[in-house]
Structure 1
Amino acid sequence: MSSEIKIYILHTGLVKVDRGLPFHEDYRNPMAYTGLFRSQKNKILLPVSSYLIEHPKGLILVDTGWNELVRTSQWAELGLQVQINQAYLPAGWSVREQLNELGFKVTDIKYLILSHLHSDHASGLPLVKDAQNILVSEEEWQAANHDKLRYIPKMWQGVNVKTFKFNETQLGPAHKSFDLFDDGSVQLIFTPGHSRGLTSMLITGSDNKSVLLASDTGYAKKSIIERKTPGVAVSRKWAPMSVSWVNQMSHNSQIIETIVNHDPETSPKIITLPYEE
């Protein structure tokens, strides 16, 4: 049966950060990404993206953007992290509001996949906690519940988050991935470095053309082209290996688009791939 996979690129917020955060290699000060002791002229505003995937085997949401609570109090939602990440959520931009606008209910989501659990990706979890299955990698879940500096565990309190285990495969910089539907159409790929359990996603149509959602392996197209790692990284060994793998994949003729989460050049749109069962 012929059908299609539709990938919606959504902007579910904005984040103001220091210029040192997107491009670690451009700054000699290793703490530049924190923005501490640096002026406002170094601040830039970047999109926070989520992705909705209409797949014949079920609706998938990737990441959640900001909770609507940031509109009233960033401090209450982010605490001390507001010194590094300032959150903005224009009216109509929350993941809940955009699902409604597209005609979907939260309970329609078969899989909510969290690329990782940093605040700009997990803050909106309470808005979509009634999704059928909420998944994050085992590595990320373990790190997020022990590292209180980089994560805010209250964001998933009361949310039924389940973990998945990467399998040994030929995909990714660490040769680890997880086939969501067991048909090769949606593969979750282990791309550590920015976080311990960072997950990218390779979506492939029946014509063997693919879209690579590369999460925070890099912050912009420049990151991928020039192999520039983010300022925030738990492993300076794995971060360049992951962004280099994405760079290599982006040159593959079967990859029609490579998308990173905070690219200011990426606008909301829909990408369609053919699908045959």
Structure 2
Amino acid sequence: MTQATHLAAPSGKSPAANIRMWGLDAPKMDIDAAHLVVGAEGTVRIPLPAYLIEHEQGLVLFDTSMNPLVCDDPALVFGDRPETSMIVSNPEQRIDRQLAKLGYRPEDITHVVLSHTHSDHAGGLYLFPQAKFFAGPGEFQWAAKPGPESAHLFNPTDLAGEVKEFDWTTVQSPSQDLFGDGAIIIHHTPGHTPGELSALVRLPSQNILLTGDTVHLREAMEWDAVDGSDWDHNEARRSITSLKRIRDEESASVWIAHDPRDWEDFGGPLKELV
């Protein structure tokens, strides 16, 4: 894995006129909110998404959702594990079919930013061998030997075989400007995992902060509360503070990937954002 050159994030909106973004439809999971935010209650149905960003210098995916086979039948991936009964999906939510709805093929993707290596984010990596891939520092070392509290969040086949040989670049702290024009700034926000990444997307009309799993639900930011399975709770709290700082400095709207309320606020899957 090569090392990325650190570039400071410029201020202001992107000069790139041709940039737009979509949240892709994806499988959902019914889960106890307490597993996502310490102190939360009730069952929540969370999306397990990816985002597509069309930039004049490339076509970017932020995360790749779960292995597309989950959309056909979760048991094809998880067998008799609890996830099989927790996942709600349909074949049209396969990431390749979601791209097709927007007029793209998997081979059109030029860049993939992986927020972290858990199975609901890394499952579709294998579909994009031609792309340039970006991951955070220490992420693959952690994925190779995760702690017992988070081992169930990985699917080893997501990172096996040729995926390990793809064109990977390590994003160095604290941030990297993906195209050098301020349009997409990747931020290292460790805590959930060592290499957890978020991304600021500067669209012509608005700035949007994609959180990855730096936070899972709105309550995490409201309460400064961690996920019980976070790799490092102190780092996680510091990264929540970083998200709030970026949000305020950039006048950005925060899009928490797993919070269904945020999806409603942004207009739902496949809503074009400019």
1:53-89 Cα shifts (integer Å, max 9, x gaps): 0001100011111223224553442367635993332
Residue 234 of structure 1: which of 209, 231, 235 is its match? 231
Q: How many residues align?
A: 248
Structure 1 residue aligned with 2:6: none
Of the structure 1 ranges 189-198 and 74-83, higher mean CA displacement relative to structure 2 is found in 74-83
Secondary structure in 2 matching 1:240: helix
Residue 245 of structure 1: which of 235, 242, 245 is its match? 242
Structure 1 counterpart of 2:135, one-letter code: V
Matched, 1:166 2:171: yes
Structural mapping, 1:103-142, within 5 Å? 103-126=103-126, 128-142=127-141
Of Structure 1 and Structure 2, the greater helix share is in: 2
Structure 1 residue aligned with 2:58: 58
Structure 1 residue aligned with 2:198: 200
Matched, 1:7 2:21: yes
Provide runs of 4+ in structure 1 moved above 4 Å: none
Of the structure 1 ranges 1-10 and 93-102, higher mean CA displacement relative to structure 2 is found in 1-10
Report the Cα offset of residue 162 of structure 1.
3.8
Structural mapping, 1:1-277, within 5 Å? 3-26=17-40, 43-71=43-71, 73-78=73-78, 82=82, 86-126=86-126, 128-147=127-146, 149=151, 150-157=153-160, 158-159=162-163, 160-168=165-173, 176-205=174-203, 210-252=207-249, 254-265=250-261, 266=263, 267-268=268-269, 269-272=271-274
Hey, what's the Cα distance between the residues in 1 that align with 2:232 and 2:68? Answer: 32
Q: Percent identity?
A: 26
Report the Cα offset of residue 110 of structure 1.
0.7
Hey, what's the Cα distance between the residues in 1 that align with 2:110 and 2:53? Answer: 10
Structure 1 counterpart of 2:21, one-letter code: I
Change (3 A) 1:81 1:187: farther
Hey, what's the Cα distance between the residues in 2 that align with 1:185 and 1:255? Answer: 14
Of Structure 1 and Structure 2, the greater strand share is in: 1
1:113-135 Cα shifts (integer Å, max 9, x gaps): 11111011112223x23342233
1:17-60 Cα shifts (integer Å, max 9, x gaps): 22211211347xxxxxxxxxxxxxx5431111210000011000
Hey, what's the Cα distance between the residues in 2 that align with 1:106 and 1:97? Answer: 9
Secondary structure in 1 matching 2:158: helix
Of the structure 1 ranges 259-268 and 226-235, higher mean CA displacement relative to structure 2 is found in 226-235
Contact 1:75 1:82 in 2 (8 A): no
- Using the size of structure 1 for normalisation, the TM-score is 0.79
Gap regions ≥5 residues in structure 1? 28-41, 169-175, 273-277
Secondary structure in 1 matching 2:253: strand
Change (3 A) 1:86 1:162: farther
Hey, what's the Cα distance between the residues in 1 that align with 2:135 and 2:242? Answer: 21
CA RMSD of aligned residues (A): 2.6
Hey, what's the Cα distance between the residues in 2 that align with 1:196 and 1:2? Answer: 31
Contact 1:165 1:178 in 2 (8 A): no
Contact 1:66 1:87 in 2 (8 A): no
Hey, what's the Cα distance between the residues in 2 that align with 1:205 and 1:44? Answer: 30
Hey, what's the Cα distance between the residues in 2 that align with 1:81 and 1:244? Answer: 35
Contact 1:200 1:214 in 2 (8 A): yes
Gap regions ≥5 residues in structure 2? 1-14
Contact 1:46 1:264 in 2 (8 A): yes
